[in-house]
Amino acid sequence: MQATSTMDYDGPPDYRTVGRHALLPNTTHDQAERYNFLAHLNRHLAAQVLPGIAVAYRSEIEPSFRQRHGRAPADRHEVRRALEGHAFYRIWSALRRNAMEMRQQSGLSVVLGQLRELIDRSAGLADQRRLRLDPTLSPPRYLTAVDHHCMPGSYYTERLDQDVSAAANYDSGLFVTTGGLLGRLADGGGRGMVAFLKKLRPDFAPRRILDLGCGLGHNVLPIAAAYPDAQVTAVDVAAPMLRYGAARAASLGVDNVTFVQADAADLSAFEDGCFDWVGSIMFLHETSLAALKRIMAESRRLIAPGGLVTHVEQPRYDASMPLLEQALRDWDAFNNNEPFWTKLHEIDLDQLMVEAGFDRSRLIHEGVHAIADGEGFRDAATEKVEDYGRKPAWRITGAEVPAQGYDAP
């Protein structure tokens, strides 16, 4: 195919290079090309269009705000409302929203056309000892209020018996949003966490690991593989995610993860102090303030002496982050059905952890970025394009818990 540019290629890899496993929905030629188009569209909007918003902000939006109010914007909400008055921000937003809707339509049409086969494959593959569903559990209200990131039916909808469609759609199209920056199996976050942990505690040999809000288990599998002697429990409220996750894990040869349907805010089925590592990856922002407090309390209750708790999210909106960046990072909260996103990135997680019983002097803060596995896939560390709130470069907030006897009161 003829192209005229002589610049180094820095775009997304071809969709067909994503990692295969037995559950990944098949794509026809044109379905794969729809994903390619959308990955390029997202990247174009971030790399080519978004910088124009910063220019508009400096040259027009901020000065005219000052003129009208006699002062600079005081917080990210004022910046957001000022941005919404500018045509360039509006068309970028319209295109970004549209790209997400197109991604959902593309993914669902891939998945629903082969859903019965996918259900059969998942039922055949999942090791039933590794899948514990609880049909009495209903999704929390904060999940049913709106469909997160414009995903029709959210994580929990059962379109057919033994459904896996929500997870299959999530897995199939995840490539589109990050253009391959999560690696061939979209597990770059989990790989990043393993690298972090091996550095923090080279001799750590956890016996039991708990992953909260595991989704279909993208990120918990590299963790399970890095600690093959550990028993890993991955909990989620949504059965379709868990069914698919258990089958996907089996297909990828990871056999030390048990997928359990449970509410991370109420894990009373598990005894106090029974996990050496309790973690979550990109989960807390899809809960609520009340749930978050309970999740913190449950993590404290479940962690064993000498253990470690880690939560991975996008960076907090603190005073060092420019208001424009905060407002752009907040886009998904208002425009992509991520209702708790804005609050989660504002609140002081340290304070919540301390209130839940963690020792302030033992809190952990560290940056972590996706480590992208696979040829042609680039690490987020080398990515210069900032797609606010979506670039896989995160912040760990965590705590170490003293070993028994050691500096106990």
Partner 1 sequence: MSEDDKQAPLDVVRLAGAKARGKRPYFLEDPDVERVLSIAMAIAGELAVLRQRLDTIEELLETRGALTREEIETFVPSPAHAEARGRWHQEYLARILRILQQQAEAQERNDEPTSSEAGAWMLRE
Ligand X SMILES: C[S@@+](CC[C@H](N)C(=O)[O-])C[C@H]1O[C@@H](n2cnc3c(N)ncnc32)[C@H](O)[C@@H]1O
Residues 338-367 that bind partner 1 (CB under 8 A): none
Please identify which residue in 66, 75, 81, 101 interacts with partner 1, judged by CB under 8 A.
Answer: 101
151 binds ligand X (CB under 6 A): no
Torsions phi, psi for 321 (to 5 deg): -95, 125
Both tokens assigned to 43: 């990247």
Residue with Cβ nearer partner 1 (156 or 277): 156
Q: Round to whole Å and give the CA distance between 56 and 83.
A: 9
Tokens (6 digits) for 102: 């197109």
**Candidate ranges 138-146, 189-197, 293-301, 313-321; the one touching partner 1 (CB under 8 A):** 138-146
| Interface with ligand X, residue 397, by CB under 6 A | no
Q: Within 13 Å and on the Cβ side, how many CA atoms surround 332? A: 24
For residue 307, give both structure tokens: 């253990």
CA–CA dist 145, 210 (Å, integer): 27
Q: Enter the tokens of residue 133.
A: 């569903």
Q: Does 337 bind partner 1 (CB under 8 A)?
A: yes
Are β-strands 363-369 and 393-400 bridged in parallel, bridged antiparallel, or unpaired? antiparallel
For 326-360, letters b (16+ CB in 10 Å) and e give bbbbbbbbbebbbbbbbebbeeebeebbeebebee
- Supply the minimum distance, in Å, between the C-beta of residue 274 and partner 1: 36
Query: Of 97-105, 203-211, 233-241, 398-406, which segment contacts partner 1 by CB under 8 A?
Result: 97-105
State which residue, 29 or 141, has the beta carbon closest to ligand X. 141
Of 83-91, 196-204, 293-301, 349-357, the segment contacting partner 1 by CB under 8 A is 83-91
> Residues 225-264: x/- map of binding to ligand X (CB under 6 A)?
----------xxxx--x---------------------xx
Closest CA to 187 of 18, 31, 22: 18
Q: Which is nearer to ligand X, 31 or 178 (CB)?
A: 178
180 sits near ligand X (criterion: CB under 6 A): no
Footprint of ligand X on this chain (CB under 6 A)? 140, 143, 155, 189, 213-215, 218-219, 235-238, 241, 263-265, 281-283, 286-287, 291
